[in-house]
Structure 1
Amino acid sequence: MATTDFDFAAWPPQLTPEQLQILVGKATSRALATGLLYLPPGYPLDSPPPQAAIHAPLSLLPAPFPRESFELAQEIQSVYNTLYAQIAMDTPFLDEVMGAEKGVGKVDEFIGELWRGWKKLRDSGRISQPLHLGLFRSDYLYHMPENGLQTLKQVEFNTISVSFGCLSQRIAELHRHLLLSTSYFGSSPHLKPENLPQNDTIAGLASGLGAAHAAYVSTGGSSTSKILFVVQPGERNVFDQKWLEYELLEKHNIHAVRQTFEELITSSSVDPQTSLLTVSPKNSPEQDTEVSVVYYRSGYMPNEYPSPEYYETRFRLESSKAIKCPTIPLQLAGGKKVQEVLGRKGLVERFLPDLPQSQIDDLRKTFMDMWGLDEDSQTAVGEVGSSPPASAAPNGDAASEPLGTLKARKEYASLVLKPQREGGGNNVYKGDIPAFLDGLPPQEREAWIAMRLIEVPKGVKGWLVRAGSLDFATTSPSERAVQAEIVSELGIFGWALFGDGQVVAEEEVGWLVRTKGKDSNEGGVATGFSVLDSVLLV
């Protein structure tokens, strides 16, 4: 991977207060006019249809990212799509790595509950739909160590409720609009149209959902069946989802229905003979709506299953003829433990035996050093070195902890610990690691992996704009933009439709950039840590 001579520390270009005020005004107006929106904080859960909105948190200028690394991420997305499809279809592998008898599910109750429900359905012959749909996002940072190769490194691969595909297109369009309308006041020679790539994620993601709907109809499903969006109550990021609904209706003539797990407890049913899934939409004259695709924009956190009824509802949907996005095995395939295990010798080749070695090499170059806290062999804990770490547990007994945990204790300053969770706000970083390990019960180590921190470009800054509330009477546009040292994470979207050992179709369909302040460890936009951004190719 070639390095870039772009001076990240010199970004962003200088802007006068007057120029900054013009850009903020144009950016926020464009965001409001084009649906780059959130519901306001504290919007009542039992409110009528939305009557107010704020613009989503956004970056005023696109984030610099090396062109070669961006293009590599796009090129290998199809390989990642196929890889995770194959993992989801390898039941023995998932049973061993993520299951509640041998794998992570033994110590992670949430993972174990999902796996046990899936196994029960398998054992009783109640898996009636062989096809899976995955809408994926592979997240990356640009690794720029002081001494070493500058290259693209994967943060994680997401298989459930991948968000901001639609709003990522809107923010890319916003930055192109600012360039067209102001030329960014000639502040940088890098700010020109050919360095702002097109982003058509809305059409791309909808094409994946549309392909699954078409596959359902082709096997006897009703042409009037609908796609079910399983959503969180009080979802502030509703507009990111709405753009997909509009695209499905206007370009594919596919209707959607939205329901929460709580609503589905009583509104959903599966016919015992045909496995047909129907729902009764809330506040609708339609009593029974046939569902072609179950699209989860929720269901990835334990707190979304507050009682057994919620798990039972998930398993009911899983047993149906509708195509699930994702199925339970595909959700399990997105676990951090799977990502860690893939780094071991021969695992990628196991799932992709026909892939040319050059493509396997490109894929492996994006892997970061990872290991399980429970691992107790040199080969399992990645780049351990020539000898085990000499440090011991607090009680002084080095034999009381496996190599994986001892290595994490020794090298904590360059690590992040990750559980099997999505959605942001779950990781443990650097200086917080020793105390966390002190309190981690030994039986729970298997649920955690250690990952070497990616060394991002230093000194790069950005202008971050958040709405925050609807009261701006005392705030000028320029005061709403805050300059901070930033970290920008690239996500590449893709989808795959697969089943019975075969990948029916797959595609790379767009990208997103999330930018956060350097001092913020987490990266979720919806959780308040990041702003939406786009890419400036350098």
Structure 2
Amino acid sequence: MSAFTSWPPDIAPDQVAELTHLATTYALSHALLYLPPHSSAPPPPAPTSAIHAPLSLFPTPIPRNLFARARRLQRAYNLLYARVTMDTAFLDEIMGEGGVADVDDFTGEIWRAWKGLREEGVAQHLHLGLFRSDYLLHQPVEGDEIGLKQVEFNTISSSFGALSQQVAGMHRHLQASTGYFDASPLLKPENFPPNDTVQGLVSGIAEAHKAYGVPSARVLFVVQPNERNVFDQRLLEYELFQRYKIYVVRRTFSELTAAASLSPARALLIPTIPPDASRSPIEISVVYYRAGYTPTDYPNPETYATRALLERSRAIQCPSLALQLAGGKKVQQVLASPGVLERFLSSEEGADEIRDSWMAMWGLDDDALPVPPAKPSADVHLVDGEPSGTREARVRAESLVLKPQREGGGNNVYRSAIRPFLDTLPARERRAWIAMELIRPPQGVGGYLVRAGDAQNGAVKGKVISELGIFGWALFGGEEKIVKDEEVGWLVRTKGQDVDEGGVAAGFSVLDSVLLVD
């Protein structure tokens, strides 16, 4: 029996209770935390309590060769998305006028801000990306060799790097302190890979700060109001100061709208708190966005104007407007089209392995498809005049996911919901959506999941699916368009087998880590 179908190993109820107690107390002791839901409006001005983040008691088995492949692929993906970002004509064609911007209001706002910046004149030609490439194990038919397929590539607010390091430490602690009660010979120290994601991500921010060239400047974290996932961000902040003596300031878009300004030389300036006319404002070297990836982050035109103001400055953006657009699902789909990936990456640079990591994708407005036409079943109602991409999405609905140009979880349309959705989707909006064949993870894998702040109800055992994320950073641009990049760590998110969406912050998944298996 494989490690997957026999996972997790059998343990007694009192052993589950002991592991749960050890896991949750470790989490509370090591900032593996969330802020609790607010019970009052407005929330308190400062946190007064915290709850542990959602977590898994056992790490997830990942084949050693596939884990190594995912880590190796990250450098190729870093380079690919850096080059895509610097190809203005390519992004304009896909995401600009005549493309997604015409039919998706949010994408349109981001693209028009970028277009306006180019017309004014760009003050900072360097871009910083803190990336995460997400994968699922893929086994089309039980008994087939297990492969690795990419879910998506994230270019903005790639979260949970810090908490993923903490949960990996928690699993190593459980192994060291209990041996997992000798439940499985796989649970030995050499199968728990190290995870130093915090230092890795921070090294990318520090590299950008150094490139900015003003040691006394600070890094700006743009955050959402009432952020519950604050500890994932604070651990990066603390590492920046402890390792590099770089200070961080945190501001929401509304705070920046009221106070951010540009100097005559287009330095980004933030007032001190409290404001003090006798003290110089804070100069910003790097703007790191943990907000700005969803339309709800821009409640009014002033917020979009603030994003444009930040981008007009000399501060290095993480991500820039262009890099945010490059992370769009439509870009991923176009890259998968024949010959397009090879425009940016050679075989020697990893193009073949990247292409092998993709499932079939197409646009709903496409007529040329990467799959042969499927025969519709009797219950499928086809609509005359629809493009081949929409027709094929109707026919193949039970094996597909539809994706819009959104981040943050909860935006996709799956399987049986696809046909009713297509019936109501305006024809002009099809170009904003892509269809992607569903990845088929190995079946029969189980886990013990402990929900955030719910340890009193114990760990819940069930069938699960786990998603592996690999982190990387890239600093690129300038006159010579040089790319510096690294692969810097990983995470695992685990969810119930019957749950389609996968976001931890959105409440679908728990944090997990890797157990290497052969």
Which TM-score applies when normalising by structure 1?
0.92
Does residue 409 of the first structure (1) align with residue 394 of the second (2)? yes
CA distance in 1, matches of 2:2, 2:157: 34
CA contact (8 A) 1:56 1:467 kept: yes
**Residue 510 of structure 1 aligns with which residue?**
489
Name which of 82, 85, 89 aligns with 1:85: 82
Does residue 155 of the first structure (1) align with residue 130 of the second (2)? no
**Residue 230 of structure 2 aligns with which residue?**
238
**Residue 185 of structure 1 aligns with which residue?**
181
Does residue 47 of the first structure (1) align with residue 44 of the second (2)? yes
SS at match of 1:72: helix
Matches within 5 A, 1:142-291: 142-146=137-141, 149-217=145-213, 222-271=214-263, 273-283=264-274, 285=276, 288-291=281-284
CA contact (8 A) 1:60 1:462 kept: yes
Match of 2:370, as an amino acid? Answer: G
CA distance in 2, matches of 1:77, 1:424: 22
**Residue 537 of structure 1 aligns with which residue?**
516
CA distance in 2, matches of 1:467, 1:427: 24
CA displacement at 1:142 relative to structure 2: 0.3
CA distance in 2, matches of 1:84, 1:181: 42
Does residue 369 of the first structure (1) align with residue 355 of the second (2)? no
**Residue 432 of structure 1 aligns with which residue?**
417
CA distance in 2, matches of 1:448, 1:396: 19
Match of 2:151, as an amino acid? Answer: V
**Residue 317 of structure 2 aligns with which residue?**
324
CA contact (8 A) 1:394 1:438 kept: no
Does residue 483 of the first structure (1) align with residue 476 of the second (2)? no
SS at match of 2:5: helix
**What are the Cα deviations for residues 295-341 of structure 1, in whole angstroms up to 9, with x where unaligned?**
00000001111110000000000000000000000000000001111
Does residue 495 of the first structure (1) align with residue 480 of the second (2)? no
**What are the Cα deviations for residues 432-460 of structure 1, in whole angstroms up to 9, with x where unaligned?**
00000000000000000000000001011
SS at match of 2:110: helix
**Residue 120 of structure 1 aligns with which residue?**
116
**Residue 287 of structure 2 aligns with which residue?**
294
CA displacement at 1:282 relative to structure 2: 3.9
- 1:97–1:14 distance in 2 versus 1, CA, 3 Å: same
Matches within 5 A, 1:296-311: 296-311=289-304
CA displacement at 1:462 relative to structure 2: 0.4
SS at match of 2:476: strand
Runs of 5+ consecutive residues of structure 1 not aligned to the other structure: none
CA contact (8 A) 1:267 1:281 kept: no
- 1:29–1:291 distance in 2 versus 1, CA, 3 Å: same
CA distance in 2, matches of 1:443, 1:392: 28
Match of 1:317, as an amino acid? Answer: L
- 1:22–1:432 distance in 2 versus 1, CA, 3 Å: same
Does residue 336 of the first structure (1) align with residue 314 of the second (2)? no
SS at match of 1:136: strand
CA distance in 2, matches of 1:416, 1:24: 35
CA displacement at 1:283 relative to structure 2: 3.4
CA distance in 2, matches of 1:6, 1:28: 29
SS at match of 1:10: coil
CA displacement at 1:10 relative to structure 2: 1.0
Name which of 55, 64, 69 aligns with 1:67: 64
CA contact (8 A) 1:463 1:481 kept: yes
**What are the Cα deviations for residues 226-280 of structure 1, in whole angstroms up to 9, with x where unaligned?**
0000000000000000000000000000000000001000110012x30110011
**Residue 23 of structure 2 aligns with which residue?**
27
Does residue 132 of the first structure (1) align with residue 127 of the second (2)? yes
SS at match of 1:8: coil
CA displacement at 1:466 relative to structure 2: 1.6
Match of 1:224, as an amino acid? Answer: S
Matches within 5 A, 1:380-395: 381-383=369-371, 385=372, 387=373
SS at match of 1:498: strand
CA distance in 2, matches of 1:152, 1:59: 22
Match of 2:79, as an amino acid? Answer: T
CA contact (8 A) 1:82 1:503 kept: no
CA distance in 2, matches of 1:428, 1:114: 23
**Residue 93 of structure 2 aligns with which residue?**
96
Runs of 5+ consecutive residues of structure 2 not aligned to the other structure: none
CA distance in 1, matches of 2:39, 2:163: 20
C-alpha root-mean-square deviation of aligned residues, in Å?
Answer: 1.8
**What are the Cα deviations for residues 366-392 of structure 1, in whole angstroms up to 9, with x where unaligned?**
011110000012xxx212x1x475689
Structure 1 stretches of 4+ moved >4 Å: 43-46, 284-287, 387-397
Which TM-score applies when normalising by structure 2?
0.96
Name which of 54, 57, 68 aligns with 1:57: 54
Matches within 5 A, 1:518-529: 518-529=497-508
Name which of 432, 436, 440 aligns with 1:451: 436
CA contact (8 A) 2:208 2:316 kept: yes
**What are the Cα deviations for residues 108-153 of structure 1, in whole angstroms up to 9, with x where unaligned?**
010011101110111122x100000000000000001117553100
SS at match of 1:181: helix
Percent of aligned pairs with the same residue? 56
SS at match of 1:459: coil
**What are the Cα deviations for residues 379-438 of structure 1, in whole angstroms up to 9, with x where unaligned?**
xx212x1x475689998643x100000000000000000000000000000000000000
CA contact (8 A) 1:257 1:281 kept: no
CA contact (8 A) 2:380 2:395 kept: no
SS at match of 1:536: strand
CA contact (8 A) 1:372 1:446 kept: yes
CA contact (8 A) 2:134 2:470 kept: yes
Name which of 439, 445, 466 aligns with 2:451: 466
- 1:251–1:146 distance in 2 versus 1, CA, 3 Å: same
**Residue 342 of structure 2 aligns with which residue?**
349
**What are the Cα deviations for residues 454-506 of structure 1, in whole angstroms up to 9, with x where unaligned?**
0001011100012336xx7xx3xxx3210111000000000000003523410
Match of 1:135, as an amino acid? Answer: L
Q: How many residues align?
A: 512
SS at match of 1:456: coil
